[in-house]
Amino acid sequence: MSYYPLTTLPDYFLMDELLTDEHKLIRQSVRDWVESFVMPKIDDAAQNHTDIPNLMKELGKIGALGPYIPEEYGGSGLDQISYGLIMQELERGDSAVRSAASVQSSLVMFPINEFGSEEQKRKFLPQLASGEMIGAFGLTEPNHGSDPGSMETHFEDKGDHYLLNGAKMWITNAPLCDIAVVWGKNEEGKIQGLIVERAFEGFTTPETHNKWSLRASKTGELVFNNVKVPKENLLPNVTGLKGPLSCLNSARYGISWGVIGAAVDCYCTALQYSKERKQFGKPIGGFQLQQKKLAEFLTEITKAQLLCLQLGRLKNDHKATPAQISMAKRNNVKMAIDIARESRQILGGMGIMGEFPMMRHAANLESVITYEGTHDVHLLITGMDITGINAFG
């Protein structure tokens, strides 16, 4: 159990005035669910490197899976700010919980909704929205992470089916998944997406053990050994790297919001602790060095909140660029990991204990700063956007 309950969100610049009543209601209901369902279980799950039982179905019940997917396919038809607020509250609980919702929403439901056939949407989206079906997203490979365009996974047209071979690595929810949206190259070397189902022969998902980060999330490989994929499982409406990259844009946007939640959890815990813990005859929050930390945390959280809100508005208007999303993901994850590390120090020795969230958030954020484009890769994206010169290769 978290030592301090999740109460309010710091709102130093009265950002709530810019939200609708619906936004605030959604945020509160997810916060209440995190408080009652996630917080009592999360430390045990992370300590024991296991997932939270029934997480996906519970996320489905509160509408956290594909919230912006149209209602006719089982989503809630909400706007992008609602999606962001949901991610923020989930990651206040744990990055593993937000990752589960991010992958299902942005990396599995999003591509099926954007690029799938009508039959695929009707077959998969409602079950993914309810959490009865768990999805995974296969882009990264053992030899190709930041450079997914060089992927080796490939498929051949065998007349009535495709034959898929290759392997994906570091895949969130691989060991649990019922389906995986897998990106591979066709015979012309062009990237396309396939929906691979658990029952297909030759498809295995070995788990990756011994992670020190995102320990309440299952990670694994997707291995394809002559897997026969029916032709109707090809995503028909996208070819090329823009398919997976558009999914990543949606997920990175959610991460930008999500990590604010992790930072807030650390900030609120450190603030309260600093007022209660006394040394040299007074609360440690009365020392200038601790106040500097707390004041800087709140400043950085406030900047990140404002960045996300404007990005959400741009996204609602279909104006957000991939480079803007990169900037927000990079800035906000660094903000959160710095706050997790620094706030742990405010708790002294207690900061390393499981009843406080800092070590767990800090360790989780080591993955978040790497996945969905590393910290350095997002810098290169911004650099390319402002100079017009590609510094990747």
Ligand X SMILES: Cc1cc2nc3c(=O)[nH]c(=O)nc-3n(C[C@H](O)[C@H](O)[C@H](O)COP(=O)(O)OP(=O)(O)OC[C@H]3O[C@@H](n4cnc5c(N)ncnc54)[C@H](O)[C@@H]3O)c2cc1C
Q: Segment 209-268, which members bind ligand X (CB under 6 A)?
A: 214, 219
Compute and round to an integer the Cα radius of gyration of the chain. Answer: 21
Choose the binding region for ligand X from 276-284, 316-324, 326-334, 375-383 (rule: CB under 6 A): 375-383
Q: Segment 26-65, which members bind ligand X (CB under 6 A)?
A: none
Rounded least distance, CB 214 to ligand X, Å? 5
Tokens of 358: 């800092």
Provide the 10 A C-beta neighbour count for residue 123.
17
Distance, in Å, from the CA atom of 136 to the CA atom of 111, rounded to the nearest integer, reads 12
Set 91, 221, 300, 372: catalytic member: 372
Query: Which residue minimizes CB distance to ligand X?
Result: 145
Question: What pairing do the DSSP bridges indicate for beta strands 278-279 and 179-185?
Answer: unpaired
Distance, in Å, from the CA atom of 80 to the CA atom of 234, rounded to the nearest integer, reads 27
- Measuring CA to CA, how many Å separate 241 from each of 84, 148, 189, 238, 339? 25, 8, 11, 9, 34
- Give 3-state DSSP helix, strand, coil % of the chain, rounded to 5: 55, 15, 30
Q: Segment 159-178, which members bind ligand X (CB under 6 A)?
A: 170-172
Of 284, 265, 232, nearest to 43 (Cα)? Answer: 265
151 in helix, strand or coil? coil
- In sequence order, the 6+-apart residues with CB closer than 8 A to the CB of 371 are 170
| 138 lines the binding site for ligand X (CB under 6 A) | yes
Q: Which residue has the tokens 């301090």?
A: 4
Rounded least distance, CB 7 to ligand X, Å? 30
| 67 lines the binding site for ligand X (CB under 6 A) | no
Applying CB under 6 A, which of residues 3, 377, 382, 385 lies at the interface with ligand X? Answer: 377
Q: Segment 81-110, which members bind ligand X (CB under 6 A)?
A: 103
Rounded least distance, CB 232 to ligand X, Å? 23
State whether the Cα torsion 140-145-146-151 is positive or negative: negative
| 392 lines the binding site for ligand X (CB under 6 A) | yes
| 152 lines the binding site for ligand X (CB under 6 A) | no
| 374 lines the binding site for ligand X (CB under 6 A) | yes
Rounded least distance, CB 366 to ligand X, Å? 8
Q: Segment 333-372, which members bind ligand X (CB under 6 A)?
A: 367, 370-372
Applying CB under 6 A, which of residues 115, 137, 155, 200 lies at the interface with ligand X? Answer: 137
Distance, in Å, from the CA atom of 304 to the CA atom of 264, rounded to the nearest integer, reads 11
Applying CB under 6 A, which of residues 139, 235, 271, 308 lies at the interface with ligand X? Answer: 139
372 counts as catalytic? yes
Task: Tell me, by CB under 6 A, how many residues bind ligand X.
Answer: 21
Using CB under 6 A, list all residues that contact ligand X.
103, 137-140, 145-146, 170-172, 214, 219, 367, 370-372, 374, 376-377, 380, 392
* Catalytic sites, residue numbers: 372
